[in-house]
Structure 1
């Protein structure tokens, strides 16, 4: 059996580098999320799938965050993969999505024509969120896409469509801490410095990820016993896409 703390340390290090999944990402209006956990006696991998409307990317983007000790085609403990989901995005809005004049035409999602009933003035993020109740699985990654990041023989031990996420929070800047970080970088020529970014709340502090870490370390899905209700539905993250 692997150590739970080793798994949680990977979660925390990913967060320090901005590579831990965040439902309330400021650049993406959350639409749907799903979590996949894979494990055996020696290997583990976590893939968190978040779909959101990203105005900068000009599409609905499915972003996969993978963490683990056996990720495919990399020696790193994290990797990302993304895909655009709307095939006819450019045809949907008069004057571009900023103008918010929906042409009231069907959306084409991964080759499938999807009718949507919405007013011409419907904002893009609200339009795409109308897909979630019926076409959620069409937006989220298929198993073959998830398996691009994870060894094919690694068993899946847990899949969640809703879990309780607490926003990660970094402590306010401290001049002395920044001086020490800079000195470390100069002396070791190592970037980023080994000293960790100090969090008030990091993944290892959150009940859901503590329990998911235990599942990954033991390959036992019974270790996931949440006491708090899930909150990864987009309606719980009103500040997603705020920037």
Structure 2
């Protein structure tokens, strides 16, 4: 309210938000969880807003076989909003590379950079050494069907790290705030939601999920997010990811 008792006009609307998301979907910079070049592993959605600004970040962690090895493992940040310095969507500066070899061995096979090196026992994730599990039953018990009898592919290995290392996959607060205003409050965070199938021409403005999220951003009221559709952002629901 201003001094005359009139309500200030909202700086943006849910319609504005959905229009931007649709444009990014049209330009292929909205997340496609079945991207043919990327095996999906983990994803996260975070929403930020105040009366004048909004921002939405969708993180997609996966393995791009064209990169190979550690260069193929990344968290790709898709960033939207009316207060960001970059073009909405994603660009090369929004890829976070979070793994590396430990001091003992190369983590992956040196010829193709697509499967675990059977000799290695550890890898660096977020500057910390973690153990590498070569036990095939470990992966099978997690519902990960191994494609080959004599190797464990990188995407299978990464999926085996879920959910124990989910937080390490995700962007840090500093990495987020390097890309959006430091003073804009977070209003919502999701690790499960129903995501549109952009490869099948589904767009955010037709998605119940993103219509509700846009309303939350517009109003600041999280009760507008009332999902009625089953979450589908888990990698098992996108079997075409990485299969081109």
TM-score by length of 1: 0.81
Which stretches of structure 1, 4 residues or more, deviate above 6 A after TM superposition? none
Uncovered stretches (5+) of structure 2, i.e. residues with no partner: 1-9, 136-149
Give matches, 1:60-209, under 5 Å: 60-71=73-84, 73-74=85-86, 76-80=87-91, 81-88=94-101, 91-97=106-112, 100=115, 102-103=117-118, 104-119=120-135, 121-169=151-199, 200-209=201-210
Uncovered stretches (5+) of structure 1, i.e. residues with no partner: 171-199
**TM-fit CA distance, 1:39:** 0.7
Of residues 203-212 and 216-225 in structure 1, the stretch that sits farther from structure 2 once superposed is 216-225
**TM-fit CA distance, 1:79:** 4.2
**TM-fit CA distance, 1:94:** 3.0
Q: Name the counterpart of 1:177.
A: none
Q: Name the counterpart of 1:174.
A: none
Cα distance in 1 between the residues matched to 2:129 and 2:67: 22
Q: How far does the alpha carbon of each residue in 1:124-153 deviate from its partner, in whole angstroms, 9 at most, with x for none?
A: 210111112211111111111111111111
Q: Name the counterpart of 1:42.
A: 52
Cα distance in 1 between the residues matched to 2:131 and 2:42: 19
Residue 63 (structure 2) aligned to one of 43, 53, 75: 53
SS where residue 163 of structure 2 aligns? helix
Q: In 2, are the aligned partners of 1:88 and 1:108 still within 8 Å (CA)?
A: yes
Q: How far does the alpha carbon of each residue in 1:18-76 deviate from its partner, in whole angstroms, 9 at most, with x for none?
A: 110122111111111000100111110100011001111223111000001001x34x3
RMSD of Structure 2 on Structure 1 (CA): 1.9
Q: In 2, are the aligned partners of 1:116 and 1:130 still within 8 Å (CA)?
A: no
